[in-house]
Chains A and B, each alone.
Chain A
């Protein structure tokens, strides 16, 4: 599903992680760990194609659905309207199953600005189920979720994996998945000035 070889990712032109090599097969999940600022988000953004890698290659057979820190939920629209928008973008349909799976059925007609942080997060995560994409890239998906919602979400990830999907998850807490683990501390780049504009001045 996803194969990464000798990857170097950069933030602001400065390498943060280097020499990353890993593979995620269908049905597998990879959990990225490491302290704040180690480069989890940068790595996920690179895998999602939002920024180019500094070196190395990324080979993905399936398209990726990316879930960032921010949920991308519009406060003026209701939960259902928000999700229907994403379904429209990905060419799928919003079904009651998806709403039920993320415990949003009762909130469907509430304007998103009246939701709590955890409910917003669930709305943001429900988007993943609408993408129909096999590879999920999740950046701290459990932030502001309560224990019950974390379990609910872990169940959804498991279901996704069981249907041949894969996931790369950056998370501090153990969401109870039977997953591969990658500690990013081992790949922290040695301070270099590659690509830094000041180096040319």
Chain B
């Protein structure tokens, strides 16, 4: 099973693997916002938590469609399904690999981008904490969506439509935690943690079931 994680990380970091794509996208989105909204620092400070979270969400979505699609195309998904590796574990590891290559870099880069949006100084720890707690949910929910749409033509488009609504609770609590900070942010953070844990516990099974149906 460790072999699968190592392989996915290795492929992600090789040429054309897509590592850094999400991160660059996040950067561009956040840089573009002040151009669109205007350089009014008070306005930017107000919308910064929301923009950072929406940006992270879209960046996470960007690399999701490759999660199973590449293994599907070259036939390794069917071969993995007939191997001793349980598909539930495969789904969880795929989510972990996605988080390590997308969620974690986004979390680490977010404080730097907060400066561009004039994020309130006291909100920085909350931004990092909320992304750290919330991005695993984005990866796991996305893995489930990718498992559902694997093998479909233009599956990436359908994937976005399926997954984005499921991201709503994480987005609400995540942005709220950053906005409120010490004043009630902990509650939002705890609720988001609950969503993440629930997703981690249930969705690998759902993803594996979807993969089995799609592999038939």
Contacts and interface: CB of A to CB of B under 8 A. Distances in A.
A70 B81 CA distance: 14
B120 to A, nearest CB: 43
Given A66-B82, A76-B14, A85 B74 contact: no
A77 B82 contact: no
Nearest to B85: A89
Interface residues of B, number: 27
Contacts of A90: 83-84
Contacts of A87: 3
B76 A88 contact: no
Interface string A56-97: 000000011111111111111100010011111111000000
Interface in B30-76: 71, 73-76
B3 A50 contact: no
A120 to B, nearest CB: 10
Given A85-B7, A89-B85, A74 B78 contact: no
A49 to B, nearest CB: 6
Choose among A52, A63, A72 the residue with the greatest number of B CB atoms under 10 Å from its CB: A72
28 contacts: A48-B82, A50-B81, A50-B82, A51-B216, A52-B216, A64-B82, A65-B82, A67-B79, A68-B75, A70-B73, A72-B80, A74-B7, A74-B11, A75-B74, A77-B11, A77-B14, A85-B3, A85-B4, A86-B79, A86-B83, A87-B3, A88-B4, A89-B3, A89-B4, A89-B80, A89-B83, A127-B79, A131-B83
Interface of A: 45, 48-52, 63-77, 81, 84-91, 127, 131
